[in-house]
Chains A and B, each alone.
Chain A
């Protein structure tokens, strides 16, 4: 496997609470060597979430994703063949995952790391572990999904996933995590608030959707501060939920995290 999708990043006004949410709800773990003054970092043994404190100029929400690759030089070489709009930049040394960040033809940002890069810290250097609830997929909506899918297939050697292709989606996998590249089409937002192109949602595989729902209800009753932001409330929530459920083939239960990031869960 040339590339592993092993990083998702959020920006949040309540980053510590969001970290607690993922630990409590999905059993994700923090590193044994936490850095409390920095972003909260949690992982499922394969993929790490950086939950970054929001700073001026940053939008809050699901922000970007990242790859760990065998050889970044090969990635640079392949990106050069993808057109001048696909660029990369080396990052400041304060970041635990990203040695480099890059962008696809539509301006979707991803981080790039190599196993032996000095900047890797936190859950990204911990040994892998097994747990019941793990990230299965994430989705982004973009203007030119076909071109972007080709970019990720060619540059990162992601493989087409065996999923029935509805709604113009493209599905690529690193062998464990599936990346769903959806078309961003304004008519899809009929009856609800429109969000621009970008990251869409995260999907988890769980041992039992019913057990998961029960756990979540119990958790919220014990600590209301961990309540998900309602998705289907208000005059536009029904359309938001319909759009969410109809454009991802995996999710069996749809909700959001404590900060409004859309999530779905499913069981095999």
Chain B
């Protein structure tokens, strides 16, 4: 079974600005085929990021992720056999990535697609390309990381990259993208605002961390709307940044203009 993590989704009231930020800073390409009335979709040649306009009832922020498989029936059968509590829903045809949506045993929501599904479109059908700055990992905080890791190994054949660390982190890979599963423990938020379980941050591999830092400063001077949301600027922010620095992959942590946490490494 071949599975690739090839979709991340953000919900934002500033969705158009967010799209331009990822284009400008990371060189992601925007697919404009669907027109200006829908979500912005940007990609790095492997991973697509849907930046959805926030609608009533939705929270803004890093929202979910998606996995493409070569045989969705096989995936569903594996879920039915071992994880019957994980239900699946077919999605409306106006969504360019998701043929189906489902969830893991902790209720972490993800989209599921097969390469020839009719729902796929936009950046997900554009073919692959290479570029210097690409998504390398994403992290989610969850109540039962061990069980959740087993789910992704059983259902998608993702590979465990590490023995569980003292912090209980588990890193799973599709061969290119790493999913970092962190235990959600309320103690970790002792000195900062508490975020409930769910997606935590997105990580990029870049050719030079210093070059990205310089570009962030330059872009914000050039266009003040590209100012990143400050992270470690007060005691609570410092505590949040320290928590994020536990991710084994990031070397520089910051947030996009809408507050989605990002880290980068070379």
Contact = CB atoms under 8 A, between A and B. Distances in A.
- Do A and B share a complex? yes
Nearest to A243: B57
Contacts of A187: 87, 89
A56 B261 contact: yes
A253 interface: no
Interface stretch (B113-121, B164-172, B184-192, B212-220): B184-192
B103 interface: yes
- Chain A residues touching B, range: 35 or more
Contacts of B60: 13, 54, 59-61
A59 B92 contact: no
A57 B13 CA distance: 15
B231 interface: yes
A160 interface: no
Contacts of B58: 61, 193, 195, 260
A52 B195 CA distance: 13
Interface string B238-266: 00100010000000000100111100000
Nearest to B187: A89
Contacts of A52: 193
- Chain B residues touching A, range: 35 or more
Instruction: From A58, A94, A261, name the one whose CB has the most chain B CB atoms within 10 angstroms.
Output: A58
B56 A229 contact: yes
Given A59-B61, A61-B59, A64-B194, A194 B186 contact: no
B55 A56 contact: no
B32 to A, nearest CB: 20
A259 to B, nearest CB: 8
B19 interface: no
Contacts of B197: 107
Nearest to B255: A56
Nearest to A229: B56
A55 B190 contact: no
Contact of A196 (B87, B108, B235, B244): B108
24 contacts: A13-B60, A54-B60, A55-B193, A56-B261, A57-B195, A57-B200, A57-B231, A59-B60, A59-B198, A60-B59, A64-B194, A64-B196, A85-B143, A92-B192, A92-B235, A106-B143, A107-B196, A143-B106, A186-B87, A193-B55, A193-B58, A196-B107, A196-B109, A201-B57
